[in-house]
């Protein structure tokens, strides 16, 4: 479980649920969707990745990995989006988002672990196909200063490669493309004869993966998977999806389109 022992007075003093998140971040979208499905009240702290707000000493004191999202519940800091949604569903059992049969529950956790392992590849393809070079200008002057305080070698390595003149390597992009292709087949195979990813109702597994499918659509990743698209179409109609995913990201996307910024 991604609990962080923080000495940040700001974090320790927060009461209730506080989410540090970014509108366009898929990991943040996943947590916002979960909060809304469970009808939980929360306080928003928007961390603008395009302005490197995740690299400020104040934020790094709360989340040393300098990533969003971070949940703070009555002073307790939890990072890692899969751990956060699991925590929310365990702590607030009303409107459960987990199957009650043990085999189905195991399957839900397997889908969440696969989601975690896919994140690095989704990040690669998001930067390659969607964000392009739009973060480079803001990141370059601040990256080495951030590298001195952030405890996240993978993130720093990724961003160094991204801001380099050469950009992300072809090998990285190819590996990500192949990975995602295989994962989409796995998801589609499950959904060919099941309505949901685990058990027989909407669960944390569906929350996590619908967010990534949305991202693949945005980047126009080929998805000729009919069962997967039918399942996604049903989730996209949920009011929670519109409120916590589409409405939040609309503003960022319009700025990307205008060539101003991205995240
Ligand atoms: N395993 C983490 C991954 C978190 C992550 O990758 N967050 C991204 C946004 S989705 C981030 O903060 N990136 C910082 C950056 O790109 O500079 C989780 O699931 O929460």
Ligand 1 center from residue 67 Cα (angstroms) = 5
Note whether 159 and 143 are within 8 A (CB): yes
Ligand 1 pocket check for 150: Cβ under 6 Å: no
Instruction: Report how far apart, in Å, the C-alpha atoms of 24 and of each of 33, 36, 108, 131 are.
Output: 13, 17, 25, 11
pLDDT of residue 135: 94
Residue of 68, 71, 117 best suited for mutating to test ligand 1, as the one with most atoms within 8 Å of CB: 68
Picking from 224, 68, 227, 65, the residue whose alpha carbon sits closest to that of residue 146 is 65
Same domain for 133 and 81: no
Q: Which of 72, 91, 110 is the C-terminal boundary of a domain?
A: 91
At 218, which CATH number? 1.20.1050.10
Q: Which of 45, 71, 91 is the C-terminal boundary of a domain?
A: 91
Asked, for residue 200, whether it belongs to a domain, the answer is yes
pLDDT of residue 262: 43
Q: Which of 68, 91, 114 is the C-terminal boundary of a domain?
A: 91
> Which atom of ligand 1 lies closest to the CA of 22?
9
Same domain for 112 and 240: yes
Question: For the chain, how many structural domains are there in total?
Answer: 2
pTM above 0.85, yes or no: yes
Enumerate the β-bridge partners of residue 76: 73
* Atom 9 of ligand 1: nearest residue by CA position: 25
Task: Return per-residue pLDDT of the chain as tens, 263 residues.
Answer: 677 677 777 778 899 999 999 999 999 999 999 999 999 999 999 999 999 999 999 999 999 999 999 999 999 999 999 999 999 999 999 999 999 999 999 999 999 999 999 999 999 999 999 999 999 999 999 999 999 999 999 999 999 999 999 999 999 999 999 999 999 999 999 999 999 999 999 999 999 999 999 999 999 999 989 999 999 999 999 999 999 999 988 877 766 666 554 43
* 163 vs 143: CA distance, rounded Å: 9
Domain of 235?
Answer: 102-248
At 83, which CATH number? 3.40.30.10
pLDDT of residue 249: 86
């Amino acid at each position: 479980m991604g609990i962080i022992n923080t000495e940040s007075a700001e974090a320790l003093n927060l009461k209730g649920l506080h989410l540090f998140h970014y509108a366009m971040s898929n990991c943040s979208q996943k947590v916002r969707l979960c909060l809304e499905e469970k009808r939980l009240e929360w306080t928003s702290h928007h961390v603008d990745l395009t302005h490197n707000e995740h690299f400020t000493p104040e934020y790094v004191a709360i989340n040393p990995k300098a990533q969003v999202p971070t949940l703070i519940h009555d002073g307790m800091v939890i990072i890692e989006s899969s751990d956060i949604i699991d925590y929310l569903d365990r702590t607030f059992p009303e409107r459960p988002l987990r199957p009650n049969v043990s085999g189905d529950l195991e399957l839900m956790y397997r889908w969440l672990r696969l989601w975690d392992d896919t994140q690095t590849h989704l990040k690669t393809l998001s930067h390659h196909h969607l964000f392009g070079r739009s973060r480079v200008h803001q990141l370059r002057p601040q990256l080495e200063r951030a590298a001195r305080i952030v405890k996240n070698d993978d993130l720093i390595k990724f961003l160094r490669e991204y801001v380099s003149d050469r950009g992300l390597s072809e090998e990285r992009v190819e590996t990500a493309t192949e990975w995602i292709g295989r994962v989409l087949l796995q998801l589609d195979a499950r959904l060919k004869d099941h309505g949901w990813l685990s058990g027989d109702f909407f669960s944390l597994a569906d929350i996590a993966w619908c967010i990534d499918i949305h991202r693949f659509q945005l980047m126009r990743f080929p998805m000729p998977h009919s069962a997967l698209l039918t399942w996604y179409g049903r989730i996209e109609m949920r009011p929670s999806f519109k409120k916590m995913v589409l409405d939040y990201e609309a503003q960022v996307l319009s700025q990307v389109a205008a060539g101003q910024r991205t995240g």
